[in-house]
Structure 1
Amino acid sequence: MSSTQSERLRELLEPLVSSQGLDLEEIAVDTVGRKRVLRVVVDSDTGADLDRIADVSRALSAKLDETDAMGDGEYTLEVGTPGAERPLTEHRHYVRATGRLVGFRLTAGDELAARILRVDDEGLDLEVPGVKGRKPTARRLAFDDIDRARVQVEFNRKDDRSAARDATGTDDTNDTNDETEEEA
């Protein structure tokens, strides 16, 4: 998708997504054979359940139908959330991942897996899991030191509240990790 089309679609769709209380995370137009697919990824601090996804999908579809933003050809609109292993690219993504285990690649080339405990404007307070029976350690990581970050799926983890309470002694969690996807 050209940057002009991407910018035009973002300008057109972002106000509608925002009016539904969601953030527009990503827009992508893919061509598969003769078919085009417009993928719109939305999220919010409180998550996006299926009803909210359906509502925003209907609003986006109506808006796209009244404009020529997608041209004359047929296309399929898919609206969903970022998914379980989402990359963290914005400050709000890190806030939403509080309490979650994240894999980091640092600008120095090192890799690190740690749980996000707190997020502020400069960086993250982390809990690095202990290895071979050792206790977890605390670490501070500045945003400038992060090259890439991605939430890790944990099959046997404690729930977010008890993990954060155990690590910090307080119940300072963000229960916003609804991982829901729907095709519209």
Structure 2
Amino acid sequence: MTDELASRLQPIVAAAVTTAGFDLDSLEVQRAGRRQLVKVVVDSDDGVGLDEVAEVSRTVSAALDENEHVLASAYTLEVTSPGLDRPLTQQRHWRRARYRLVKITPVEGSAYLARVGHAGKQRVRVLAEGRIKDVHYQSVAKAVVEVEFKQPPADDLKVLADDADHTAAATEKEESK
């Protein structure tokens, strides 16, 4: 029932979140006694602050109130931004993790640490063990951002920035053909 309800609410909530200028990262509906708990996770390239979460919450609440026939019961709305432990499952997650250290567990092979570079449509470029490497999204079983307590090495950031410039130039040349 809650999965069915979530799928009916998804376009309503997605439109409200988009109107507020954010991306809907996930939507979950749970039964909480007589009420429904509607959990909405939003994100953006610039991150999401507390004031913005409040704004999105008001926008989503108004949209749910306008479509109260879909919920057909009292609800509690919870709007939040993704935590640091959110898995990187979409291109935009990788793009937003640019220059961050991530632990990548491939479908085949051992897990390794890499720093994220350019995130394309099919793959991401990472710096792993001092070398740039293409990682196809479908070859990743799991990837999460690692917490770092100090600044990333400047040399690593320069290598990734130079690679991004080279990748952008190559992409532009390819598209102009």
Structure 1 length normalisation: TM-score?
0.77
1:153 aligned partner: 147
CA spacing shift, 1:163–1:69, aligned 2, 3 Å = farther
2:49 aligned partner: 49
Contact between 1:165 and 1:171, CA under 8 Å: does it hold in 2? Answer: no
1:179 aligned partner: none
1:169, distance to aligned residue in structure 2 (A): 5.4
1:108 aligned partner: 108
Contact between 1:164 and 1:170, CA under 8 Å: does it hold in 2? Answer: no
Alpha-carbon RMSD across the aligned residues, in angstroms, is 2.5
Unaligned stretches of 5+ in structure 1?
130-135, 173-184
What percent identity do the matched residue pairs reach? 34
CA spacing shift, 1:70–1:142, aligned 2, 3 Å = same
Higher relative contact order (CA 8 A, sep 6+): 1
CA distance in 2, matches of 1:163, 1:20: 38
CA spacing shift, 1:163–1:9, aligned 2, 3 Å = farther
CA distance in 2, matches of 1:115, 1:103: 9
Pairwise mapping of residues 20-35 of structure 1 onto structure 2 (< 5 A)? 20-33=20-33
CA distance in 2, matches of 1:10, 1:22: 14
Secondary structure in 2 aligned to 1:140?
strand
Question: 1:20-64 CA distances to partner (integer Å, 9 max, x unpaired)?
Answer: 110111011233455542110001112222222111101111222
Q: Which has the higher helix share?
A: 2
Contact between 1:37 and 1:76, CA under 8 Å: does it hold in 2? Answer: yes
2:19 aligned partner: 19
Contact between 2:127 and 2:156, CA under 8 Å: does it hold in 1? Answer: no
CA distance in 2, matches of 1:5, 1:32: 14
Contact between 1:85 and 1:153, CA under 8 Å: does it hold in 2? Answer: no
Structure 2 length normalisation: TM-score?
0.80
